[in-house]
Amino acid sequence: MGNATFFGKYRGRVIDNLDPLLLGRVLVDVPQIPGALLNWALPCVPYAGPNVGFYAIPPIGAHVWVEFEAGDPTFPIWTGCFWSAADALPADVSGGPNAKLFQSDYARLTLDDTPELGGITLRVDTPAVEQPLSITLDSGGISLTCGDSSITLDGMGVRLSVTKTVLAVSGQGVSVTVDDSVVTIPAPHTDPA
């Protein structure tokens, strides 16, 4: 390769992501630079420092943009990722520009800025956890789910659902529902006089 320099961005593909130094580096193949030595590419991240930072490593096979420090092909830097036409985008990107999401293999964070409909959802799926978990904050309130169980908090009160049992607490009182049986304890009536 001699003293050739390579400036600009190049398309690459991750061939290894288990950085032995745990610096967020990936080993990349850059077809446009044949015969290039395979060196670990340092990440270019939006935020980093002692004990702080953004750490997200692309999976093996992911497409990455690669640059070279001062044009030197022995000092690669991965500066971001991209999808090819053959790649599947993360599920449900239908929110358009109002939706921002971060998705790994089994966890997903969605931020939706759609007026009156948006919110935040954090979801973790199996096999990362035994049962699917989610937390949603939106105009309907706060909802936590674990498998078939859930807790909902909204302007009307709190609702706890466990399989076929529901406990609802509101300003009107408390009700417990088990299968088809309902027990209701109304809130004490206070005379305004």
Q: Which two tokens stand for residue 71?
A: 């044009």
Cα-Cα-Cα-Cα dihedral of 72, 74, 78, 82, to 10°?
A: 90
- DSSP class of residue 97 equals G
Contacts (Cβ under 8 Å, ≥6 apart) of 176: 165, 166, 167, 168, 182, 183, 184
Query: Which pLDDT belongs to residue 14?
Result: 96
pLDDT band (50, 70, 90) for residue 71: very high
Q: What residue segments make up the domains of the chain, in order of their start?
A: 10-82, 96-186
- What pTM was computed for the model? 0.71
User: Cis omega (within 30 of 0) on the bond before 115?
Assistant: no
10-82 has CATH 2.40.50.230 classification: yes
Query: Which pLDDT belongs to residue 92?
Result: 65
pLDDT band (50, 70, 90) for residue 11: very high
Could you read off the pLDDT of 99-148 as tens digits, one per residue? 888 888 899 998 988 888 889 999 999 999 999 999 999 999 999 999 88
Cα separation of 185 and 93, whole Å?
Answer: 44
Cα-Cα-Cα-Cα dihedral of 72, 73, 79, 80, to 10°?
A: 160
